[in-house]
């Protein structure tokens, strides 16, 4: 964790310079400049289909921009794909990912915060939609990446899940991590807003 | 890292229906004497070719569960975010698929050869040819699975793509031309990770 904290607050974890993205012939945004510094939270807003999720996938490096430059710190992405082996117990499915340079202490912290500790022997396929959302968040925490990209993080979460998410976000940004989240709902805490598509 | 990928895919292969292609292989081998008749000499002569056809058709069965579930579930995306090259993912999948497919096939070839009235020498030659050719079959299966991942009716398309590409393996394997069989097998096995990786990258939306 010290490696995250040692990033001074002015360090940018994500930087877009003049980025243009076109998908299926449609221009989603043009000449976008964007900087996310350590400790910051950025919320992407805008109606459906304006390119919030595409911007996140572009930031993650899963899509290619048409023009411009993107620099990114190590990052973790939580979108609608759970990416956990459905037949395996939750702890083993999460452990597969934290095995790639993450840490077990982080994962344990995430499981406790997200109220998943009691579910770790349960196969992933038996979890409910809300529990899967929590498990996806736990996977993100377990990677130890300083930049989190969250696509609609509130989908499926109950009131308690919202509080747990807020606790995780506070913990992460306090250590110098940064979060970019796409959501049309009000997210817990203070967020810088960016309306995509304008 | 590649090791943990291989271990994951082997586990998924074995907990899935690893026996299904093998049962299919034995079934096809069983059909041949019914179709040709019980002439032991004739069966013995066509036995090696019949085993190859059975192996090729059996190799088609698991294709839809090799790459598509990981694509649909975001596992391929997450691996990319963790810095794992798509080529490495494909390489690991080829090895894992070979491990869950080929040894069982080589064992199943023994009872199948009895059904086809093949003698010991002919069985041994076919076993060696299958051992040399199955890495290429596994590599083709992964490459075709990656190319068709996410497409509608991927299963039927996969058959149309895989079988023509496997023809050289079939020709040299059944003709017992081991040097050529090994050369084709090496070429397909070495090329498949790059084809698969390009297909995985192109399928990202």
* Residues A24/A63, Cβ–Cβ less than 8 Å: no
A42 touches chain B (CB under 8 A): no
The pLDDT tens digits for B26-61 are 999 999 999 998 898 999 889 999 999 999 999 889
What long-range pairs does A166-174 form, CB within 8 A, spacing at least 24? A167/A113, A168/A110, A168/A113, A168/A114, A168/A137, A168/A141, A169/A41, A171/A113, A172/A141, A172/A148, A173/A39, A173/A40, A173/A41, A174/A39
User: Which tokens in the block code for residue B181?
Assistant: 């069989």
Q: Which residue from B133, B153, B159 is spatially nearest to B61, judged by alpha carbons?
A: B159
**Taking the CB of residue A65, how many other CB atoms lie within 10 A of it?**
16
Whether the domain at A2-74+188-195 and the domain at A84-145+156-178 fall into the same CATH topology: yes
Q: Is the pLDDT of residue A2 over 70?
A: no
Q: In which band, very low, low, confident or very high, does the pLDDT at B81 lie, cut at 50, 70 and 90?
A: very high
- Nearest residue in chain B measured CA to CA from A79: B74
**Region B143-150: what's the mean pLDDT?**
95
CB-side neighbour CA atoms (13 Å) of A85 = 20
Phi, psi angle pair for B77, to nearest 5°: -65, -45
Q: Is the ipTM of this complex over 0.85?
A: yes
The pLDDT tens digits for A141-163 are 999 899 999 999 998 899 999 99
**CB-CB under 8 Å, B15 with A100:** no
In chain B, residues with a C-beta closer than 8 Å to the C-beta of A136 are: none
CA distance B190 to chain A (A): 26
User: Which tokens in the block code for residue B126?
Assistant: 């076919």
Radius of gyration of chain A (CA): 17
Task: Please tell us whether the domain made up of A84-145+156-178 is placed in CATH 3.40.190.10.
Answer: no
Of B1, B8, B204, which is closest to A63 when you measure between CB atoms? Answer: B204
Compute the distance between CA of residue A87 and CA of residue B148 in angstroms, rounded to an integer. 24
CA distances from A168 to A131, A159, A176, A178 (A): 16, 15, 13, 12
- Residue A193 parent element (H or E): strand A192-195
**Region B10-16: what's the mean pLDDT?**
88
Q: Which CATH code fits A2-74+188-195?
A: 3.40.50.300
Of B74, B81, B205, which is closest to A75 when you measure between CB atoms? Answer: B81
User: Which tokens in the block code for residue A94?
Assistant: 């999460």
**Region A181-194: what's the mean pLDDT?**
89
Q: In which band, very low, low, confident or very high, does the pLDDT at B116 lie, cut at 50, 70 and 90?
A: very high
Reported residue count of chain A is 198
CA distance B70 to chain A (A): 8
A63 touches chain B (CB under 8 A): yes
Partners of A148 in the β-ladder: A76, A179
pTM: 0.90
**CB-based burial label for A71 (10 Å; 0-12, 13-18, 19+):** exposed
Q: In which band, very low, low, confident or very high, does the pLDDT at A198 lie, cut at 50, 70 and 90?
A: low
User: What does the domain layout of chain B look like in residue ranges?
Assistant: 2-202
Compute the distance between CA of residue A36 and CA of residue A128 in angstroms, rounded to an integer. 33
User: What does the domain layout of chain A look like in residue ranges?
Assistant: 2-74+188-195, 84-145+156-178
Q: Which residue from B161, B164, B137, B168 is spatially nearest to B147, judged by alpha carbons?
A: B161
| pLDDT value for A10 | 66
Q: Is the pLDDT of residue A1 over 50?
A: no
CA distance A123 to chain B (A): 14
**CB-CB under 8 Å, B74 with A81:** yes
Of B8, B81, B204, which is closest to A76 when you measure between CB atoms? Answer: B81
Q: In which band, very low, low, confident or very high, does the pLDDT at A196 lie, cut at 50, 70 and 90?
A: confident
Which one has a higher pLDDT value, A175 or A103? A175
**CB-CB under 8 Å, A77 with B77:** yes
A27 touches chain B (CB under 8 A): no
């Amino acid at each position: 964790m010290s490696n995250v904290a040692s990033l001074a607050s002015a360090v940018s974890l994500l930087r877009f310079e003049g980025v243009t993205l076109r998908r299926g012939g449609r221009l989603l945004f043009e000449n976008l400049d964007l900087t996310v510094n350590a400790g910051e939270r950025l919320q992407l807003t805008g109606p459906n289909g304006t390119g919030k999720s595409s911007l996140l996938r572009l930031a993650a490096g899963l899509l290619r921009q048409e023009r411009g430059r993107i620099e990114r710190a190590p990052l973790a992405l939580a979108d609608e794909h759970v990416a956990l082996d459905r037949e395996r117990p939750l702890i083993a499915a999460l452990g597969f990912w934290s095995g790639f340079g993450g840490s077990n202490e982080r994962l344990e912290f995430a499981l406790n915060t997200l109220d998943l500790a009691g579910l770790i022997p349960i196969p992933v396929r038996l979890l409910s939609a809300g529990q899967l959302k929590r498990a996806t968040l736990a996977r993100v925490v377990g990677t130890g990446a300083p930049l989190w990209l969250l696509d609609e993080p509130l989908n499926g979460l109950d009131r308690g899940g919202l509080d747990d998410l807020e606790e995780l976000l506070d913990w992460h940004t306090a250590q110098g991590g940064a979060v970019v989240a796409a959501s049309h709902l009000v997210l817990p805490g203070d967020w810088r807003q960016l309306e995509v598509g304008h | 890292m590649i090791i943990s990928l291989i271990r994951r895919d082997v586990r998924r292969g074995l907990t899935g229906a690893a026996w299904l292609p093998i049962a299919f292989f034995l079934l096809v081998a069983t059909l041949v004497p019914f179709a040709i008749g019980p002439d032991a000499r004739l069966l013995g002569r066509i036995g090696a070719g019949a085993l190859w056809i059975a192996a090729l058709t059996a190799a088609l069965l698991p294709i839809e569960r090799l790459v598509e579930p990981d694509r649909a579930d975001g596992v391929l995306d997450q691996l990319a975010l963790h810095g794992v090259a798509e080529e490495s993912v494909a390489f690991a999948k080829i090895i894992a698929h070979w491990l869950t497919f080929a040894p069982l096939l080589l064992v199943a070839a023994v009872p199948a050869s009895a059904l086809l009235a093949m003698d010991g020498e002919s069985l041994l030659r076919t076993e060696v040819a299958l051992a040399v050719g199955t890495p290429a079959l596994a590599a083709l299966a992964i490459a075709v699975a990656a190319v068709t991942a996410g497409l509608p009716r991927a299963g039927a398309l996969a058959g149309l793509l895989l079988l023509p590409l496997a023809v050289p393996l079939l020709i040299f394997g059944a003709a017992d031309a081991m040097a050529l069989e090994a050369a084709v097998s090496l070429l397909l096995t070495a090329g498949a990770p790059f084809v698969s990786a390009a297909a995985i990258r192109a399928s990202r939306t």
